[in-house]
Structures are given as C-alpha cells and as structure tokens.
Structure 1
Amino acid sequence: MHKKTLGSSILSAIIYVIMILWALCVLYPLVWSVFGSLKDNQQFLLKMPWSLPEWPLLWENFANVWTNYNVGTYFMNSLIVTIVSTVLALLLSSTTAYVIARFRFKGSQALYNLYLASMMIPLILGLIPLFFLLTDLHLSNTLFGLILVYTAMNVSFGVFVLVGFFKTLPKELDESASIDGSSDYGVFFRIMLPLARPGLISVGIMNVLNIWNEYVMGTVLVNDPSKYTLPIGIAVMQAEMQYRTEWGPLFAGLLLSIIPVLVVYFIFQRQITSGMVAGAVK
C-alpha cells in the first residue's frame, strides 16, 4: 500500500511539473509581447529583444497604433462583426437544434447528418464560390456580407452541440407548458432556451474565438481598408511598415487583439468548462 501511495505521489508530481512547464511556455509569448509593446525600436535593436523595457515605459505606443495605424477602426469592425455574427449563429443553431431534437418528422435525422457533414468540409474550398456569390449580391467589401458568411460558418457546430442538450430535457416540460396555453415559441424561448444556457455559453464562446481570430475569409471577401477586421488590419499594418518595422506599436496592436479574448475567457471560464463537460456527458 505504501509503495502504491508513493508511486501515485511521484506520478502526480511529474504531472504537476509538466503542467507548470507547459503554462510557462504558453505565458512566455504573452509576457514578451507586453514587454515589447512598451519599448521603442532602439531598445529592440541595441539590446536583447527579450530584455525588460526601460523607464519610462512607452504607453503611447497603444495610442499611436490606435490612431495612426487605424487599429481603432479595425477593432470596432471586429467587435461589430463578432457580436452580430455570434448572436445570429446562436439564434439559428438553437432553433434548428430544438426542432431536430424535440420534433419527429420525416428527414429530421438526414437534416442533422447534413449539418454534421458540413463541418467536415474545409472552409478554403468555399472561398471562390463565396466571393462570386457576395459579388453578385453586391455584398462584397461590406461588414454585412462578412457577418452572413461568419454566421453560416458557425451554425453547424452550434447545432451539433445543442441537439444533445435539448434531447436530454424532460418532455414533460413541453407538455405542461402546452397545457397551460403556451405556444411552441413560448415553450422554446421561456423554458427550453434558459435550460440550455450552459450549451449556449459554450457555443457562443467558441463562435467568438473563431470569428474574432478569422483571417482567411476576411482577406478574400473584404478589400476596403475601412472594413478590415483586426487580424487583417494588423497584417496590413506590418506590410505598410515595409523596411522599418515599428516593433512597439506592432506588439501593442497584437495585445489589443488578444485582450478582448482573454477578458471573455476569464469572465466565462466556469461556464465554458461546465458547458463542455455537460455536452460531453449528454
């Protein structure tokens, strides 16, 4: 028994050491970016790139990149596209998942399988058709066209996750609400949707991460600089610097793109964990 306890303690210690090393590897680039955003080019070129920033700290790099490099415009575009696309994707995926899970009709399983199959198609294959489709609809180089594309991209995943939640909810809830005179819409929005909150939060966070960091679709479908999202804007900013890269503002722009994602994760980390675990069990 003593040997077994000693072996498990050693194994636990090894696992903790590995986890700590992994956490340091993940945090190091973030800390290095923070240090880099507070330096000027002279500190990067004349000293070690990973050295601590000198005093006074150059907080003006954030104001510089926000105004002079139009990061403020890119940030607002990303914010609008992410919020609207996430809300629309959640609305469409939740209603579709509810119908598939709670109503039996011919072709319901085939419809569900169709959504699952669409998740296996690489997004790169849809670039050219989407480009010509948005051009024909006069939606290219618009935030609205980008919102429609991002919404459609994330509906399938939401359906996949939320169908499991709705299937496990007791059918007596539907019947009791119907007897009380509630319509199908009332049952869904007043009873079923609040009960599926863990799944909605998990799906919503995944959608936010995917949309906020998306680069390829935005690059192809949007060519107007005033409509660029943050990932595209930072890449354009680096290209515009050409032969003299302003490392401080560049790292500041990167941090401005990371901070909203970190804030969302820290706020909803418990809901994300509980939602994913509940979805896995169900």
Structure 2
Amino acid sequence: MKQTVGQILGKAGIRIPLILWSLAVLYPIFWMFLGSFKSNAEIYRNPWGFPETMNFQNYIDAWANYGIGTSVINSLIVTLVGTALTLVLAIPTSYAIERVNFRGSHLLFMLYVSAMMIPMVLGWIPLFFLLMDLNLLDNIFGLAIVYAVSQLPFTIFILTTFISTIPRSLEEAAAIDGMSPYGVLWKIITPLSMSGIITVTIMNAIQFWNEYFMALIFLQNSKNYTLALAIDFISNEAQYTNAWGTLFAGLVIATVPVIVLYAIFQRRITKGMAEGAIKG
C-alpha cells in the first residue's frame, strides 16, 4: 500500500532527529579515535582531519609511561570484585524479601527502594573515615566493597521484580523432593532469574568501570588508580606537556571495552529492563 504524505512526514519527523542525535553522539567518539593516532603537530595543524599515518606511539606512551596499563588492571579487578560481590549479596536478599515471610519484609524492601533516592555524595565523608578505621582506605578491594554496597538497592529492586513472577509451585515441588532452601535459591530461582541477573550485572559493571568520584576520594596512591583517575591525570598533564594524542589514546582504551560490552549485550539489557518493567 502506498504511504500517504502525512505518514512519510511523520516517519521523517521521528527519524531525522534520531539521526542528527546519533551523529552528534558518534562524531566526538570518531574524532577522539582519529586523534589517538595523530602527533601533537598534526592535532594542532589539522584537528578535524584524518591522520597522515597510523601512529601507535600514543598508545605505547599511555600504556607504559602514564600508567594506563596498571590502571586497566586495577579497574578490571574493582569491576569484577564489585560486580560479583553485588550479586552474592543481592540474590539471597531479593529472594528473602520476596519469598520468606517475616515481619517487616515489605518495610525492608521499601528501605532499599528509598535508598535509591539518596545521593551517594552524602555518604562519602562517613565512608572515608570508615574505610580508614578498617584499613581499607587507598585499597582497590575496599573500593570494590563500596561500589557493591552502593549498587545493592538498584540490584535488589530489579531482582525482586523477577523473582516475584516465578511460580511458587516450583519451589514447593523441589521442597517435597527434599531440596534445601539454599538449593531452591541457587538451582531454581537463580537460573529462572538469569535475564534480570545478566541485566544488572552488565549495568553494574559499566557503572563500576566508569566511576570517578569515589575512586578519587578513596584512592590516594597512583599505583592504585583506576582508569578514570589515570585519564584525569593525563588530562592535567596534557595542559603542560601537550600530550593530547596520549590523552585521546587513553580515552579510547577506556571507552572501547564499554562500547563493545554494551553492543554485545544491548538486546539482553533492553529485554531484561522491559521484562522487569512489565513484570513489576
């Protein structure tokens, strides 16, 4: 069937702004990628053009001379430990809130939900002194614990929604067969909630990988810097040493894993969030 002029204009009115927005978002990333292969002279001479040669020296300098390599390892450790700890704490808590009948379960859930509304900045000073007392200040594992706790309310909120839709009859049948409550949790509830678990895992991992302010407050030794702090250091140095190509290279190293991760699991994230919204 032929489309009417109104339908064509309606589709164009939706698509054109989306295309313009996509170009506005993608162009700085593309420009950053090109700049990572330029020398300082090329950046000043032709900042918007293509590099004359593919110069990888900026990546070598960023990795070796500015500590990006060490920071990548630190960020990877913090992200993996923080994400795993969040799941270990959130999955049993979500199951207990949703399935175990105890006085105050609804109140506990509301406390977790309300904690999502509290700005994390209000807890930075108390956390600083708490980590100092526990000898976890300037420690990447201490930072991972803070990350995990900060994302618990969001993770519990999402997982509780998924667990609430699982039929109780499956748990009752497993209990009749002699399965323990822990077996029910890890062998029945967890696999059936895998869509929600994958969603919160990816979103938490991206959050931990990119986080800057808490790392800035709780980490002091440059050897413990995460990737965000290392890039901030390069940015400050670039103002005096003109290491703009090295800065662009560091930004590419930090950005590409997030883009690849989101591109691979984008459908899973969208599906998980949509299912959580519908089930909720």
- State TM-score, norm by structure 2: 0.96
| Equivalent residue number for residue 102 of structure 1 | 99
Give 2:8's aligned amino acid. Answer: S
Please give the residue correspondences for 1:192-203 in structure 2 after superposition, counting only pairs within 5 Å: 192-203=189-200
Correspondence 1:115 to 2:112 = yes
One-letter amino acid of the counterpart of residue 227, structure 1: N
Distance change (3 Å), C-alpha of 1:261 and 1:2: closer
* TM-score, normalised with respect to structure 1: 0.95
In 1, Cα distance between equivalents of 2:45 and 2:155:
50
1:41 aligns with 2:40: yes
The correspondence of residues 1-282 of structure 1 with structure 2, limited to 5 A, is 5-47=4-46, 49-54=47-52, 56-282=53-279
CA deviations over 1:182-212 (Å, ceiling 9, x no partner): 1111111111101111111111111011111
**3-state SS of paired residue (2:265):** helix
Q: Distance in 2 between matches of 1:200 and 1:12?
A: 36
Distance in 1 (CA, whole Å) between partners of 2:232 and 2:134 is 28
The one-letter code of the counterpart of 2:115 is: S
Instruction: Please state how far the C-alpha of 1:238 moved relative to its aligned partner.
Output: 2.1
Shift of residue 242 of structure 1? 4.5
Cα deviation, 1:39-92, whole Å, max 9, x if unaligned, reads 011011223x111111x2112211221011110000000000001100110121
How far, CA to CA, are the matches of 1:152 and 1:191 in structure 2? Answer: 25
**Which letter does structure 1 place at the counterpart of 2:212?**
Y
Gaps of 5+ in 2: none
Query: Hey, what's the Cα distance between the residues in 2 that align with 1:242 and 1:274?
Result: 43
The amino acid of 2:278's aligned partner reads V
Q: Deviations over 1:196-255 (max 9, x none)?
A: 111111111110111111111010111011100000111012223452221111000000
Alpha carbons 1:86, 1:204 under 8 Å: kept: yes
1:205 is aligned with what amino acid?
I
Q: Is 1:238–1:245's contact at 8 Å kept on the other side of the alignment?
A: no
Q: Is the 8 A contact 1:100 1:108 kept in 2?
A: yes
Q: CA RMSD in A?
A: 1.4
Identical residues among aligned pairs (%) = 46
CA distance in 2, matches of 1:242, 1:260: 26
> 1:74 touches 1:228 (CA, 8 Å); kept in 2?
yes
Looking at structure 2, the residues matched to 189 and 9 of structure 1 have their Cα atoms a distance apart, in angstroms, of 52
Cα separation, 2, equivalents of 1:6 and 1:169: 48
Shift of 1:19: 1.2
Measured in 1, the distance between the counterparts of 2:147 and 2:80 equals 11
Matched pairs, number? 279
1:20 shift after superposition: 1.1
Counterparts of 2:7 and 2:275 in 1: how far apart (Å)? 28
- Tell me which amino acid in the other structure corresponds to 1:38: F
Whole-angstrom CA distance in 2 between matches of 1:272 and 1:245: 39
Give the deviation of 1:136 after TM superposition: 0.8
1:11-62 deviation digits (Å, cap 9, x = unpaired): 1122111111111111101100111001011011223x111111x2112211
For 2:51 and 2:239, the matched residues in 1 are separated by 24
